[in-house]
Amino acid sequence: MAFLTFAGSDREKSVNWLAASMVSTAVSGLGHEVESQRLETLNLPLYSQVTEQSTGYPSSLRDFRCSVQKADGLIIGCPEFNGLITPLLLNTLTWLTRSDQGAPDLSAFRVKPVLICSSSPGGLGGIRAAAELANYLRGIGAIVFPEFFIVPQAFSVFSEPNLASDHPLTVRANEIALAFTELAKKV
């Protein structure tokens, strides 16, 4: 099976990329293919119908949308920005719900298994943004995996260069990767 990973952060050492990467590594370790996409490299304009009508569908989005459609499941790193998902992630998802003909098109997400990963330096680990993203994704037809991969106190957790295979977070990443891929097989 093939999975696609992306995160709503453009920071090079984003703790949300690190969280999503932990699960992606675990998924890959189960023998599945995992592709990653940095959203900032798409250089998407801020979505509005005016922008869409005047400049058209961003060419950088075509291949990415195709990758989303082809993937057997998505692993999304979801940073929290004032309790919500980041503008980068929301803007990308908004563009992905549009066709290159300038019309609504939710087919990229229809019955698509999605695993949400979130981390933050605080004690909640980005749970509020993860819940907001889950609600959004359900609204556009995705099957959101019922458990999030949450990493609170991320700066301290990720300060270790490589987490040991028996570290509780690594064990959790492996467990959730297995359960998520099993769900994706059934869809």
pLDDT at 162: 73
**Cα 17 versus chain centre, distance:** 9
The count of other CB atoms within 10 Å of the CB of residue 66 is 11
Closest CA to 37 of 60, 55, 54, 15: 60
**pTM for the structure as a whole:** 0.96
pLDDT at 164: 80
pLDDT at 4: 99
The fold for domain 2-186 equals Rossmann fold (3.40.50)
d(C-alpha 104, C-alpha 102), whole Å: 7
Two tokens, residue 86: 């980041």
Task: Please identify every stretch of the chain with a pLDDT value under 50, giving residue numbers as ranges.
Answer: none
Q: What CA–CA distances, in Å, run from 72 to 66, 69, 76, 184?
A: 12, 8, 13, 6
pLDDT at 161: 72
pLDDT at 181: 99
